[in-house]
């Protein structure tokens, strides 16, 4: 195609050719071509023509969003310029949907997805990718853990567009059945890996939500998919960059509302702690003395604030160095990351070291790329939980008379049936610890063959090995061993978890534009994976010394304990096909089919089909929209499909046996059934419908996305308790279904939008809402319902038509002013003082009616600022703090410190209009609507300011880019209900400064 | 390079075509997969033996259904009123099945019995297709014993939780599981359960037709050549005669006296279970064969059987309760009272099993013999020859007096004189003498619908009542 001319005496040559997109073969329009001081652009068909002197020179093709393509003209290779393939820049994939299996232009994709680039993620937070995603996309939810607060070593529960599996069964499965699938650089990975991943390595994150986008992952996809791409090394001279994050977190104790010393003593007095019930006058004298002793201490000014003891400011620093470079054939990147996160509780620590090597080698039509990552994570956790400090009474002194930490806060006299109160500070001061070391190795290799313009083949193989070593030790001096013999004190436990995962994949991708109007894309492939996990564990006891803690100093093993060994092996294979057809850029169609086979499912149901179809309409490309400058983008799309869920344990479909090792007889050994399998167990699948619209208008200033979806999970897979006569008490079964519908929207407006001047001001708003209910479950969960009814605080029930998040309790009409008793409303509307569990109705729903974020960001010539505020409205919560720490304070709890409200607003003959019952140790309070409160909240989730230094300022320092950013997370929280949060570990607010330097 | 790709695609295709299903067939390593266990006849034998071993659990015949719970219900022991000593036993002696403790205990027994029934069903379900794995007659032996175990467990659950059969045979009782199932079976009327039990036992009896016990007896010792014990120690397995004996027991319970007589007589006439050698009882007063082991048709083998004695009967047991018979009942009725009761202190069953410590006599049936390695020290009798004589006596005709000879035949081997004429009361006393501490007394009273004999004073004995005899189905059954 390229023709070499001879023109006059100065030898000139004309290079001609076409520039196309590597992905779909589309011609690229307006690519600038520069060589030897000459410049040209490609035309509407992607063709260019440039006349240059016929000497050796570099020809550079540049195009926004694509990597520069540099080719050397050697005077003999003009024909090599007839076709130039350009690659999209991985860091600027704004308009591309990356599914991990294939990529599609957003414009021609029918699925519901959201893509976020590195700088967007970084702009809202520096902790980890998921933390930022939560702020950016309303459908991505990270569950707040009231129990574990901001413990850096706790993995969060994550869900996209709500739960699809029966709740409360996480323990039974080992893996959270509602967790989305995580794909890192095209390979399946774990939540933990993503949490450990240094954010500075991330190029983009895509959330796939509906059937059209997730169905390519078949039976793993019903919870949604999070696709994370790390940065690929860029071409060019060696470039070194440094990114650093420095943070400070402080515990947020504002949700605690504990009594002070005087209040606590008053409360105890009212509750009758100092009143003898046995009729023994000596005991009454003793109790009087005890109270007087405590009162004297209070008069002396003792009012200990225990909550401040275990906490500290937590410092965080993370560093990432990355060197990258290379030329046409070889590109390389070498990175090293280190992170140290100190939690806000003393002794809580998480260190991560990660090294990675990325290599890309390209020759002819082949490209090899390999990503190797090795990481080591070291964690430490406090051994005394935060709750123990919250329990400690404020009238006790921290230190004994000798100025040392005393072992007990209170020790009863000899012969009394009273329990000693141990000092949490004493137990925390001992040589007790809980540590984990995890080593991980991941190598992902990809081989690509660009067969023709339209056809590409790819083979992938990934290998991951992870070894965890968890050790914990409780000192023999710990007060919990007080009643044990000397040879049983102290406890050491060790659990090792080894995991070996491999995954392989081969696929062929086709993409071609026919007759300028018919764009056809297709992918077909084969995938296999295997995951083997082994768990070894043992414990030892009988330590005699606090200081010397090696397991070798143990006396032996705890009585009747044996070593633990568990192994599970899961394997899966699948075949998949994806096809997309676009007519004239206007009408879009997608379909997916995947056949999955997995070892977890019974031979009767080993394989499963997943399908999806999607359709879309690009209205802005229609001829009637031509000349309309207002709408630059307007798309309607819809999809339906049936992705599945296989986050279930390995052998539940198979019956297994074990030796009954407790006895043998003259006939030798015996075996009996260990677990009854259900070979007919069917896969859990969710039929998923989605209707959506994407709009951009007013000169790109307003951006609106709206999705309405409904899902039907049928059948649910759950562990059901069975009648004892079946021979087992529970079995994994298919039972009933769950239907969910919801909507979500994101809206962004830029009142000031002057990109050419570097000024941009955005206001964003997003919202999500969903509702679920059970159907066809019948009596399958009656045992769970019964145990929920009798449990202390369980308010979740499983009934047809009921919501998984509904709060079930008996309605309350409040406290009867005359008697101080609670008045209940029965099912038929009548009033009664008698509590009957069968009067339970739905009194609230934990799912908010609407939840989301609003925020604003400003970009002004290198200066950025943003703030994101989460709102939650229309949900309810069962206030366990009121239920357990105000009323229902039992005979033992009364010795723990309690919520201030336990003292005030209590019914008495002088205060008849109180909200709470009278103070009593023996009166049991039942679960009623009195403790159900509206849970509306405003949370200052993320605030940030940043500055990108302009070129002229930093060039002298030989730095090519320099930026700093300050981010503050969870700075404030305004809620309509006051509940203690962070029981075992407090929540934290944090401030982080991020620095990025590229040399 | 292109060739490599071609290879990969071909490889993928091959994997896909043939290997997939196989590759997905993952076998656990930390547990025993069913199809690996049941690859050989030894695997089946291990599973069968596992079921026998599990019968020794405390919630089944290791305590609850042999010496403890069921015997309290059967009035065998005098239960004090001091809660700190007797704990929950007081409630049980008053038949308060609704207490949390006894509900939980009944639930345990029920769940364990049905879990072993499930084990039998897993075995029975698989054995049909694996018939070829078995040598000689072993297929029939294994299957027969498993069927008999299934029937026996159902029968005991029916006797415990079912209605008083003689009065309400149509009443809903328990479910009968004949196959592994992931959906619960219905609770059936007692008569339907009865026919299932009989059916299973009859089938077992046919399968066990070639049981070596019929030709060679119980063979209670290991072969000298060290070969397998599988076809030996027959009274530790549900052998042919044990199945006949169970048929006799169940036929009587279901009111079919004719059949009960037939089966009882078959066992009696077989001669496979000779009466205990006098020399082993009176000849060695310091070390008698207290369970009359040669008469035991079927026994469990419990490696720590002396815990039954130590946990419940040992007079040196401190600090709590010791199970023993009411003194007055023992001296005036069961082992006293002369011709009117048939009670006599010369009775071997009194001389070897009731040992005086202080003012009381204590029950020594489960105390070990001196020879520690002896298989007899492991036996928990489940059904014995004496019961066959009592069944024959009760069933020979409508007139109970006609059975006097059978009772006297038994008594002559117990060292006591004849009773002149058998009455229902004397028959019951004979049951107490013969089967004390073996978990059968409650079922006898329930079958005959007569007062439970805690005491020699009739006023102190609870009158027959459904409330006493019918244990409510466990929570786990009704709530799920």
Cα–Cα distance for residue pair A152/A217, rounded to 1 Å: 30
Cα–Cα distance for residue pair A884/A902, rounded to 1 Å: 10
- pLDDT the model gives residue B9: 58
Q: What is the pLDDT of residues A413-472, one digit of tens each?
A: 766 667 788 899 999 999 999 999 999 999 999 999 988 878 999 999 999 999 999 999
pLDDT band for position B111 (50/70/90)? very high
Q: Does residue B319 register a pLDDT over 70? A: no
- pLDDT the model gives residue B150: 97
pLDDT band for position B410 (50/70/90)? very high
Q: Does residue A999 register a pLDDT over 90? A: no
Provide the residue count of chain B.
480
Q: Does residue A881 register a pLDDT over 50? A: yes
Lowest-pLDDT choice from A155-159, A663-667, A778-782: A778-782
Return the residue in B2, B13, B25, B31 with the most chain A beta carbons within 10 A, the one to mutate for interface testing.
Answer: B31
What is the enclosing helix (H) or strand (E) of A121? helix A118-124
Q: Does residue A964 register a pLDDT over 50? A: yes
Mean local confidence (pLDDT), A771-793: 81
End-to-end CA distance of chain B: 62
Tokens 């440094």 locate to: A242
Q: Does residue A88 register a pLDDT over 80? A: no
Q: Does residue B404 register a pLDDT over 50? A: yes
- pLDDT the model gives residue A93: 45
Q: Does residue A4 register a pLDDT over 60? A: no
Bigger pLDDT: A219 vs A237? A219
- pLDDT the model gives residue B83: 79
pLDDT band for position B4 (50/70/90)? low
φ/ψ of residue A564, rounded to 5 = -95, 140
Contact A320, A337 (CB under 8 A): yes
Say yes or no for a CB contact (<8 Å) between B37 and A671. yes
From chain A residues 720-779, the ones with a CB under 8 A of any chain B CB are 721-729, 731, 733, 779
Contact B118, A728 (CB under 8 A): yes
- To the nearest whole Å, the CA of A189 is away from the closest chain B CA by 20
Q: Does residue B35 register a pLDDT over 70? A: yes
Cα–Cα distance for residue pair A28/A41, rounded to 1 Å: 10
Which domains does chain B carry?
A: 2-479 (1.25.40.390)
Q: What is the pLDDT of residues A598-644, one digit of tens each?
A: 888 777 778 889 999 999 999 988 888 887 778 888 999 999 999 98
Indicate the DSSP class of residue B338.
B
pLDDT band for position A786 (50/70/90)? confident
Say yes or no for a CB contact (<8 Å) between A727 and B23. no
From chain B residues 318-337, the ones with a CB under 8 A of any chain A CB are none
For the beta sheet containing B32-33, the strands, ordered from the edge strand earlier in sequence to the opposite edge, are A671-675, A656-659, B32-33
Residues in A closer than 8 angstroms to B121, CB to CB, are 727
Q: Does residue B270 register a pLDDT over 80? A: yes
From chain B residues 284-303, the ones with a CB under 8 A of any chain A CB are 301-303
Q: Does residue A782 register a pLDDT over 80? A: no
SS3 state at A641: strand
Q: What is the pLDDT of residues B126-163, one digit of tens each?
A: 999 999 999 989 999 999 999 999 999 999 999 999 99
From chain A residues 964-983, the ones with a CB under 8 A of any chain B CB are none
* Nearest Cα residue in chain B from A656: B33
Q: How many CA atoms lie within 13 A of A352 on its CB side?
A: 27
Q: How many CA atoms lie within 13 A of A77 on its CB side?
A: 11
Cα–Cα distance for residue pair B75/B455, rounded to 1 Å: 8
Cα–Cα distance for residue pair A398/A927, rounded to 1 Å: 36
- pLDDT the model gives residue A171: 42
A661 in contact with chain B, both atoms CB, cutoff 8 A: no
Lowest-pLDDT choice from A310-319, A768-777, A880-889, B212-221: A880-889
Mean local confidence (pLDDT), B371-390: 91
Return the residue in A577, A656, A673 with the most chain B beta carbons within 10 A, the one to mutate for interface testing.
Answer: A673
Contact A2, A35 (CB under 8 A): no
Mean local confidence (pLDDT), A366-390: 93
Mean local confidence (pLDDT), A367-389: 93
B23 in contact with chain A, both atoms CB, cutoff 8 A: yes
Q: What is the pLDDT of residues B272-283, one digit of tens each?
A: 999 998 888 887
Tokens 């720590």 locate to: B304
Cα–Cα distance for residue pair A374/A354, rounded to 1 Å: 6
Residues in A closer than 8 angstroms to B116, CB to CB, are 672, 727
B182 in contact with chain A, both atoms CB, cutoff 8 A: yes
B18 in contact with chain A, both atoms CB, cutoff 8 A: no
φ/ψ of residue A842, rounded to 5 = -75, 120
Say yes or no for a CB contact (<8 Å) between A727 and B177. yes
SS3 state at A342: strand
* Nearest Cα residue in chain A from B27: A569
- pLDDT the model gives residue A170: 43
- pLDDT the model gives residue B11: 61
Contact A901, A251 (CB under 8 A): no
- pLDDT the model gives residue A396: 92
Say yes or no for a CB contact (<8 Å) between B28 and A670. no
Q: Does residue B253 register a pLDDT over 70? A: yes
Say yes or no for a CB contact (<8 Å) between B233 and A569. no
Mean local confidence (pLDDT), B9-30: 70
* Range with the largest mean pLDDT of A31-40, A400-409, B423-432: B423-432
- Residues in contact with B242: Cβ distance below 8 Å, sequence separation at least 6, in sequence order: B148, B235, B297, B298, B382, B383
The burial of A834, by beta-carbon neighbours within 10 Å (0-12 exposed, 13-18 middle, 19 or more buried), is given as exposed
- To the nearest whole Å, the CA of A783 is away from the closest chain B CA by 6
pLDDT band for position A917 (50/70/90)? confident
Say yes or no for a CB contact (<8 Å) between A663 and B303. yes
Say yes or no for a CB contact (<8 Å) between B49 and A668. yes
What share of chain A in percent tops pLDDT 90? 41
- pLDDT the model gives residue A420: 85
Mean local confidence (pLDDT), B10-24: 65
- pLDDT the model gives residue A89: 64
- pLDDT the model gives residue A448: 92
Nearest alpha-carbon partner for A273 in A390, A426, A389, A410? A410
Residues in A closer than 8 angstroms to B45, CB to CB, are 667
Cα–Cα distance for residue pair A950/A960, rounded to 1 Å: 9
| Identity of the residue in B24, B50, B229 whose CB atom sits nearest the CB atom of A660 | B50
Residues in B closer than 8 angstroms to A572, CB to CB, are 24
Tokens describing residue B51: 């079921």
From chain B residues 403-462, the ones with a CB under 8 A of any chain A CB are none
From chain B residues 99-128, the ones with a CB under 8 A of any chain A CB are 107, 110-111, 114-119, 121-122
Number of helices and strands in chain A (H, E): 12, 51
Q: Does residue A852 register a pLDDT over 70? A: yes
- To the nearest whole Å, the CA of A631 is away from the closest chain B CA by 47
Cα–Cα distance for residue pair A144/B457, rounded to 1 Å: 69
Q: Does residue A134 register a pLDDT over 60? A: yes
Say yes or no for a CB contact (<8 Å) between B9 and A665. no
Lowest-pLDDT choice from A82-91, A308-317, A349-358: A82-91
Provide the ipTM: 0.90
Return the residue in A365, A657, A715 with the most chain B beta carbons within 10 A, the one to mutate for interface testing.
Answer: A657
SS3 state at B50: helix
What is the enclosing helix (H) or strand (E) of A214? helix A211-214
β-pairing, A932-948 vs A863-878, is antiparallel
| Three-point CA angle B172, B177, B178, nearest 5° | 130
- To the nearest whole Å, the CA of A270 is away from the closest chain B CA by 34
- pLDDT the model gives residue A819: 85
Tokens 């001047």 locate to: A757
- pLDDT the model gives residue A954: 82
Q: Does residue A326 register a pLDDT over 90? A: no
φ/ψ of residue A780, rounded to 5 = -55, -30
- Residues in contact with A877: Cβ distance below 8 Å, sequence separation at least 6, in sequence order: A807, A844, A846, A932, A933, A935, A977, A979
Tokens 């079976």 locate to: B185
Mean pLDDT over all residues of chain A? 87
pLDDT band for position B12 (50/70/90)? low
Residues in B closer than 8 angstroms to A528, CB to CB, are 15, 23
């Amino acid at each position: 195609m390229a023709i070499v001319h001879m023109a006059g005496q100065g030898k000139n040559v004309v290079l001609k050719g076409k520039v196309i997109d590597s992905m779909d073969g589309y011609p690229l329009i307006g690519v600038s071509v520069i060589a030897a001081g000459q410049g040209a652009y490609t035309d509407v068909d992607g063709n260019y023509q440039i006349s240059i002197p016929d000497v050796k020179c570099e020809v550079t093709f540049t195009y926004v969003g694509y990597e520069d393509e540099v080719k050397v003209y050697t005077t003999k290779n003009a024909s090599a310029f007839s076709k130039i393939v350009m690659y999209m820049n991985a860091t600027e994939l704004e308009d591309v949907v990356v599914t991990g299996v294939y990529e599609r232009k957003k414009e021609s994709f029918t699925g519901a997805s959201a893509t976020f680039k590195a700088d967007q993620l970084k702009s809202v937070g520096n902790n980890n990718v998921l933390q930022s995603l939560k702020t950016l996309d309303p459908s991505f939810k990270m569950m707040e853990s009231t129990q574990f607060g901001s413990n850096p070593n706790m993995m969060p529960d994550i869900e996209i567009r709500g739960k699809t599996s029966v709740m409360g069964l996480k323990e039974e499965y080992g893996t959270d059945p509602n967790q989305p699938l995580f794909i890192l650089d095209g390979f399946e990975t774990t939540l933990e890996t993503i949490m450990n991943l240094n954010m500075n390595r991330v190029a983009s994150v895509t959330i796939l939500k509906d059937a059209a986008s997730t169905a390519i992952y078949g039976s793993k996809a019903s919870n949604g998919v999070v696709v994370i791409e790390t940065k690929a090394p860029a071409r060019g001279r060696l470039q070194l960059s440094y990114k650093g994050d420095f943070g400070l977190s402080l515990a947020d104790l504002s949700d605690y509302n504990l009594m002070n010393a005087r209040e606590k003593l008053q409360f105890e007095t009212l509750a009758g702690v100092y009143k003898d019930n046995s009729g023994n006058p000596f005991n009454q004298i003793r109790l009087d003395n005890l109270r007087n002793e405590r009162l004297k201490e209070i008069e002396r000014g003792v009012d200990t604030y225990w909550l401040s003891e275990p906490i500290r400011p937590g410092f965080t620093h993370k560093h990432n160095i990355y060197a990258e470079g290379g030329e046409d054939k070889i590109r390389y990147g070498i990175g090293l990351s280190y992170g140290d996160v100190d939690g806000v509780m003393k002794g809580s620590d998480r260190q991560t070291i990660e090294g990675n090597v990325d290599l890309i080698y390209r020759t002819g039509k082949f490209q090899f790329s390999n990503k190797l990552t090795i990481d080591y994570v070291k964690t430490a956790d406090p051994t005394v939980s935060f709750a123990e400090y919250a329990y400690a009474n404020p009238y006790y002194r921290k230190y004994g008379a000798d100025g040392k930490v005393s072992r007990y806060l209170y020790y009863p006299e000899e012969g009394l049936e009273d329990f000693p109160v141990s000092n949490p500070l004493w137990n925390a001061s001992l040589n007790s610890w809980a540590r984990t070391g995890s080593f991980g190795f991941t190598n992902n290799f990809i081989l690509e063959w660009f067969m023709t313009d339209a056809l590409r083949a790819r083979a992938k193989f990934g290998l991951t090995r992870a070894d965890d070593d968890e050790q914990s030790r409780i000192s023999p001096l710990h007060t919990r061993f007080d009643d044990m013999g000397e040879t049983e004190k102290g406890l050491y436990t060790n659990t090792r978890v080894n995991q070996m995962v491999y995954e392989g994949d081969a696929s062929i991708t086709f993409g071609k534009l026919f007759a300028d109007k018919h764009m056809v894309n297709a992918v077909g492939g084969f995938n296999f994976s295997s995951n083997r996990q082994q768990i070894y564990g043992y414990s030892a006891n009988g330590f005699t010394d606090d200081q010397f803690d090696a397991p070798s100093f143990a006396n032996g093993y705890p009585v009747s304990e044996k070593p633990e060994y568990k192994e599970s092996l899961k394997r899966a294979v699948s075949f998949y096909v994806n096809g997309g057809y676009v007519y004239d850029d206007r009408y879009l169609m997608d379909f997916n089919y995947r056949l999955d086979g997995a070892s977890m499912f019974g031979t009767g149901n080993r394989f499963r089909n997943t399908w999806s179809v999607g359709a879309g309409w690009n209205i802005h490309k229609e001829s009637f929209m031509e000349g309309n400058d207002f709408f630059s983008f307007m798309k309607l799309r819809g999809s339906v499909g049936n992705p599945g869920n296989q986050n279930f344990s390995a052998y539940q479909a198979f019956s297994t046996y074990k030796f009954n090792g407790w006895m043998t007889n003259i006939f030798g050994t015996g075996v009996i059934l260990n677990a009854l399998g259900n070979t007919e167990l069917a896969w859990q699948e969710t039929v998923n419908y989605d209707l959506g619209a994407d709009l951009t208008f007013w000169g790109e200033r307003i951006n609106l996305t709206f999705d309405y979806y409904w899902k039907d999970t049928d059948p649910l897979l759950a562990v059901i308790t069975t009648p004892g006569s079946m021979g087992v008490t529970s079995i994994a079964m298919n039972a009933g279904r769950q239907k969910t519908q919801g909507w979500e929207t994101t809206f962004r407006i830029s009142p000031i939008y002057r990109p050419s001047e570097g000024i941009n001001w955005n206001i964003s708003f997003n919202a999500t809402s969903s509702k679920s209910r059970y159907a066809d479950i019948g009596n399958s969960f009656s045992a769970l319902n019964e145990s929920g009814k009798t449990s202390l605080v369980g308010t979740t029930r499983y009934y047809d038509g009921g919501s998984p998040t509904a709060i079930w309790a008996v309605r309350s009409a409040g406290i009867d002013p005359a008697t101080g008793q609670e008045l209940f409303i029965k099912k038929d509307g009548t009033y009664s003082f008698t509590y009957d569990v069968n009067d339970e109705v739905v009194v609230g729903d934990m799912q908010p009616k609407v939840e989301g974020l609003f925020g604003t960001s400003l970009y002004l010539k290198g200066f950025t600022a943003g703030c994101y505020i989460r709102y939650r409205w229309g949900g309810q919560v069962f206030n366990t703090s009121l239920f357990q720490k105000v009323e229902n304070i039992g005979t033992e709890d009364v010795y723990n410190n309690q919520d201030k409200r336990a003292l005030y607003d209590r019914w008495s003959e002088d205060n008849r209009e109180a909200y709470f019952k009278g103070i009593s140790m023996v009166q049991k309070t039942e679960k009623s609507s009195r403790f159900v409160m509206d849970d509306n909240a405003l949370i200052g989730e993320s605030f940030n300011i940043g500055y990108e230094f302009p070129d002229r300022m930093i060039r002298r320092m030989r730095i090519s880019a320099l930026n700093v950013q300050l981010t503050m997370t969870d700075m404030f929280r305004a809620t309509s209900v006051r509940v203690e949060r962070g029981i075992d570990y407090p929540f934290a607010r944090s401030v982080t400064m991020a620095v990025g330097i590229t040399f | 390079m292109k060739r490599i790709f071609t290879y990969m695609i071909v490889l993928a295709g091959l994997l896909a075509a043939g290997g997939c299903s196989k590759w997905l067939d993952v076998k656990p390593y930390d547990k025993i997969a069913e199809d690996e266990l049941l690859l050989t006849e030894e695997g089946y034998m291990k599973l069968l033996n596992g079921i026998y071993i599990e019968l020794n659990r405390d919630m089944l015949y290791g305590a609850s259904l042999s010496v403890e719970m069921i015997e309290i219900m059967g009035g065998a022991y005098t239960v004090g009123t001091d809660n700190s000593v007797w704990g929950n036993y007081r409630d049980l002696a008053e038949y308060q099945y609704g207490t949390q403790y006894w509900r939980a205990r009944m639930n345990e027994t029920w769940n364990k019995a049905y879990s072993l029934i499930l084990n039998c069903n897993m075995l029975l379900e698989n054995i049909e297709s694996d018939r070829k794995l078995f040598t000689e007659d072993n297929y029939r032996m294994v299957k027969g014993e498993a069927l008999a175990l299934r029937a026996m467990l159902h029968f005991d659950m029916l006797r415990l939780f079912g209605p008083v059969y003689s009065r309400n045979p149509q009443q809903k009782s328990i479910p009968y599981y004949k196959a592994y199932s992931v959906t619960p079976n219905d609770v059936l009327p007692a008569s339907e359960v009865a026919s299932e039990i009989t059916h299973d036992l009859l089938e077992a009896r046919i399968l066990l037709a070639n049981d070596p016990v019929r030709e060679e007896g119980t063979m209670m010792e290991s072969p000298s050549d060290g070969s397998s014990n599988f076809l030996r120690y027959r009274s530790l397995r549900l052998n042919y005669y044990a199945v006949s004996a169970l048929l006799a027991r169940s036929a009587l319970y279901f009111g079919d006296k004719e059949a009960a007589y037939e089966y009882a007589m078959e066992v009696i006439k077989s001669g496979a279970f000779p009466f205990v050698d006098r020399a082993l009882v009176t000849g060695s007063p310091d070390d008698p064969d207290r369970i009359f082991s040669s008469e035991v048709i079927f026994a469990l083998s419990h490696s720590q059987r002396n815990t039954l004695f130590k946990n419940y009967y040992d007079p040196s047991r401190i600090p709590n309760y010791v199970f023993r018979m009411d003194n007055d009942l023992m001296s005036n009725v069961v082992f006293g009272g002369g011709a009117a009761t048939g009670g006599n202190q010369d009775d071997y069953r009194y001389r070897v099993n009731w040992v005086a410590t202080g003012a009381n006599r204590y029950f020594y049936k489960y105390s070990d013999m001196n020879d520690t390695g002896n298989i007899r020290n492991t036996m928990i009798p489940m059904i014995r020859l004496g019961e066959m004589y009592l069944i024959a006596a009760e069933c020979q005709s409508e007139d109970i007096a006609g059975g006097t000879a059978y009772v006297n035949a038994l008594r002559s081997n117990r060292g006591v004189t004849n009773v002149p004429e058998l009455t229902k009361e004397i028959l019951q006393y004979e049951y107490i003498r013969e089967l004390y501490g073996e978990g059968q007394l409650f079922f006898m009273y329930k079958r005959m619908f007569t007062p439970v004999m805690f005491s020699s004073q009739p006023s102190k004995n609870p009158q027959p009542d459904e409330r006493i005899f019918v244990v409510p189905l466990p929570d786990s059954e009704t709530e799920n």
